[in-house]
Structure 1
Amino acid sequence: MPEYPRLSFTLPDGSEVHTDVHTLLNAGYAGRSQDDVAAHVAELAELGVPAPSTTPALYPVAPYLASQTDEVPVQHGRTSGEAEWALVITGPSPEDVLLTAACDHTDRALEVHGVAWSKNAGPDVLARKAWRLVDVEDRLDDLVLRAWAGDVEIQHGKLAELLTPAYWLDVLRSKGWYEPGVVLISGTIPMHHGVDQFTSSWRVELSDPATGNVIELGYRVRPLPEPIG
């Protein structure tokens, strides 16, 4: 049997849930307003990023890229994260679907050659805490995503800006992918203009204004040594 990465999450009641990730999916162009998505695709095209054949998009990536780490090694200076939420399926019932914070660390130099390639060139970093989706689904749109590149806020928005977890769960069911060990990363919200995304650290926060509860993750970006040859 293959060995898959094991993720562990602490729930609000203090219990821990573990899952071995065999399928990792990255949503893209996943804004709830597809008019805004179309405008974003046009902006990216001006930067040389190829347009997707359809939106929203869904990119399968290598499952070993699912990680809970404090450090991300990179090969060059043009990589950066993205504030996202993640669905983690740990069992067959609705109570087994977890919601957590995630950061999709992407190779921006490779992105101009293919978004799917760039997604496979860096890890999806997940938080170590999670909520059961059923416990927050009545107020999902009010949950807040924030990200900091270094010490500067680079993203701030509500989950209402993105396609819902229910939308993506329906996609998983339609594809036969709804099963334990599947992780889906949501796609991201817009970045603030003028903020340098190529920094030495990233931090993402998912917060619930109704309760004050917060899930967060953070990691350092470590440049690898120069190659020989």
Structure 2
Amino acid sequence: MNFHVNGKEINWEPKDLLIAGYTAKDQNSLRNHIEELEKIGVAAPPAVPMIYQLSPELLCNESEITAVRNDSSGEAEIVILNIEGEWYVGLGSDHTDRVLEAVSIQKSKQVCAKPVSKELWPLGSIEDHWDEIEMKSWYVLNGEECLYQSGKLAEFLTPKELVQIIEGRGYSISEAAILCGTLPILSSEFLYGEEFKAEIYDARTNKRISLSYQIKILKDAEVV
């Protein structure tokens, strides 16, 4: 995979791909919310935050991914990459099969590619104002762009906090790519469109990282 950092090109392939879920900064409030969901029959995750280990070859920076049936969707996430001992920040999408998600969350993530931006920032360049970074995403439906997610990184655990949790559970972070959690969606339900777009914006430097990819729907062999 090819990445760009301050005009420099980096060629790198991850050895591990980890997807973090339930990464809200206020973990106590999150646990209270999970308990409320349990009361109405929604199963609680076995651990908070959740860490899903996926095949590293799912990470890609292509402009198109494929899916069977139009029932998978993306979600904007910060991705941190440990490249030769140095941490970098990019923008990724945890594209997920929403039908399979009802059966197994990990399997629903494993069957979809995980697009990531080619542009990266050194993590150290934003650590002191992590909370201020803005993140947004959009879906393109029938040619119309719809705002899908919007918020700031203040809502999430910091990379340092998340990495400590991941290491504490025995996962390797050497040459790893880690997706760090997503914002709530603004619509009442998941959207399934032909294109997914996202960006992070640093107001202090007026810099942004953008991500966009098309979703190509494969012919479904089970539909005659």
TM norm structure 2: 0.89
CA distance in 1, matches of 2:103, 2:220: 23
Question: How many residue pairs align between the two structures?
Answer: 217
- Choose which of 194, 200, 205 in structure 1 pairs with 2:194: 200
- Residue 104 (structure 2) aligns with: 114
Q: Tell me whether 1:124 sits opposite 2:117 in the alignment.
A: no
Q: 1:61 to 1:206 in 2, by over 3 A?
A: same
Deviant stretches of 4+, over 6 Å:
none
CA distance in 2, matches of 1:202, 1:45: 34
CA distance in 1, matches of 2:128, 2:25: 18
Q: Tell me whether 1:162 sits opposite 2:149 in the alignment.
A: no
Identity of aligned residues (%): 26
- Choose which of 14, 19, 35 in structure 2 pairs with 1:21: 14
**Counterpart residue identity of residue 157, structure 1:** G
Deviation at 1:178, TM superposition (A): 2.8
**Counterpart residue identity of residue 13, structure 2:** D
Alignment of 1:53-202 (within 5 A): 53-92=46-85, 96-150=86-140, 151-174=145-168, 175=170, 177-179=172-174, 181-194=175-188, 197-202=191-196
- Residue 51 (structure 1) aligns with: 44
Q: 1:176 to 1:222 in 2, by over 3 A?
A: closer
Q: 1:49 to 1:66 in 2, by over 3 A?
A: farther
- SS of corresponding position for 1:186: strand
Q: Is the 8 A contact 1:49 1:114 kept in 2?
A: no
Deviation at 1:38, TM superposition (A): 4.8
Deviation at 1:176, TM superposition (A): 5.6
Deviation at 1:197, TM superposition (A): 1.3
Q: Is the 8 A contact 1:81 1:106 kept in 2?
A: yes
Deviation at 1:65, TM superposition (A): 0.5
Structure 2 segments unaligned to the other structure (5+ residues):
none
Q: Is the 8 A contact 1:49 1:115 kept in 2?
A: no
CA distance in 2, matches of 1:157, 1:37: 21
Structure 1 segments unaligned to the other structure (5+ residues):
1-6
For residues 132-188 of structure 1, the C-alpha deviation after alignment (integer angstroms, 9 at most, x for no partner) is: 001111111100110001111110010010111111222344336131x21000110
Q: Is the 8 A contact 1:148 1:154 kept in 2?
A: yes
CA RMSD of aligned residues (A): 2.2
Deviation at 1:80, TM superposition (A): 0.3
TM norm structure 1: 0.87
